[in-house]
Amino acid sequence: MFEPLLTQIIAIAKDAGQGIMTVYHQSAGRVVLMADQSPLTKADLILNQSIVSALARLTPNIPILSEESMEWDTAAAHAVVNATGGKVCELSGETLRYNKADLHNPEFFVLGNSDGALLSAVQRCL
């Protein structure tokens, strides 16, 4: 059921990855430091826009969060998702953890309470 969508998402990621290499080879990749002192390059911005645009076209009814996040950015929303029967997962399928030494969140996704089949499909693709 979800495999065709996941195949398209994987293709978007691969296309973006190949396209971004052009940007890296064309410039020295001027770096700007964000408020938390993490680097942000022109390539990062182009890659993000490419992926977000492609995902928005593919799934216009699904919101996209494409920003680094810290534990405090997601904890309250995570509690709401849990209370409504959903799940917030790391890419491994494990529940997003808190109180880690590094307070940055890893990549994660959110599933509603009826998305068990989607979680299984994602895990098969990883």
Domain range enclosing 24: 3-58
The answer to the question of residue 104 being in a domain is: yes
State the SS3 of the chain. Answer: CCHHHHHHHHHHHHHHHHHHHHHHHHCCCCEEECCCCCEEEHHHHHHHHHHHHHHHHHCCCCCCCCCCCEHHHHHHHHHHHHHCCCEEEECCCCECCCCCCCCECCCEEEECCCCHHHHHHHHHHC
Q: Is residue 63 part of a domain?
A: no
Query: Does one domain contain both 54 and 87?
Result: no
Q: What pLDDT is stored for residue 112 in this prediction?
A: 75
Domain CATH number, residue 114 = 3.40.190.80
| 50-77 tens-digit pLDDT | 888 998 898 887 777 777 788 888 899 8
Tally of domains within the chain? 2
